[in-house]
Amino acid sequence: MSHGARVIRTGVSSGGPAAPPPVTVASSSAGSDAELMDGGYFRSCAGMLKVAQMISLLIGFISVNNSPWTDYSAYSFFQIVTMCDLVMILFFYIMHIFRVYRKLTCVSWPLAEFLHYLIGTILLLIGSIVAAAKSYNITGLVAGATFGFLATILCVISMWSSYKVSCITQSTSKYR
């Protein structure tokens, strides 16, 4: 089945010798392989979303850590989940900044990040619900649970945008 005519451009034409290729200048936001860091990721929506997630997780952890606990198991679970999520988000943030995904091609990085967000978001939601239920109106615990819910919402947004970009774009691009 043909999807239309395709034009293949080569450097040689039938009218004479080939012209030299045009010189292009790479922009600093797109970055090249020679650069160590991707400066454009700092200002991208995904990068700022990861920073917002890390800040909300850190505030939630500090709020719960500096409050008098009423239930040890609920808040220790909340602290473990927030710190594990924070470390993993920081790991993926550093991986994007230093372009590690280009060098380690044996790992499906979009799938790994999607699975992290899926599992981490479910555990963070459970931890936030339990922390909110066991807070007994202690302000630090309520604040920790609130920032846990905020981080959960940010993780859902990041997971949705990751799925939308990596899966939906790939499925529609084969028909172009």
Q: What is the pLDDT of residues 34-85, one digit of tens each?
A: 577 888 888 899 999 999 999 999 999 999 999 987 778 889 999 999 999 9
And the tokens for 27? Answer: 């922009």
Domain span holding position 125: 43-172
* Number of domains the chain is built from: 1
Rg (C-alpha) for the chain, rounded Å, is 23
CA 22 to each of CA 11, 19, 26, 28, 33: distance values in angstroms, whole numbers, following the listed order: 11, 9, 13, 19, 20
Task: Give the span between the Cα atoms of 148 and 121, in whole angstroms.
Answer: 10
pTM of the model: 0.73
pLDDT at 167: 61
Higher pLDDT pick, 10 / 34:
34
Q: How confident is the model over 81-123, as pLDDT tens digits?
A: 999 999 999 999 999 999 988 888 898 988 899 999 999 999 9
Are the C-beta atoms of residues 124 and 148 closer than 8 Å to each other? Answer: yes
User: Torsion over CA of 151, 152, 155 and 159, rounded to 10 degrees?
Assistant: -170
Report yes or no on 131 lying in a domain. yes
Are the C-beta atoms of residues 61 and 144 closer than 8 Å to each other? Answer: yes
Report yes or no on 68 lying in a domain. yes
Report yes or no on 20 lying in a domain. no
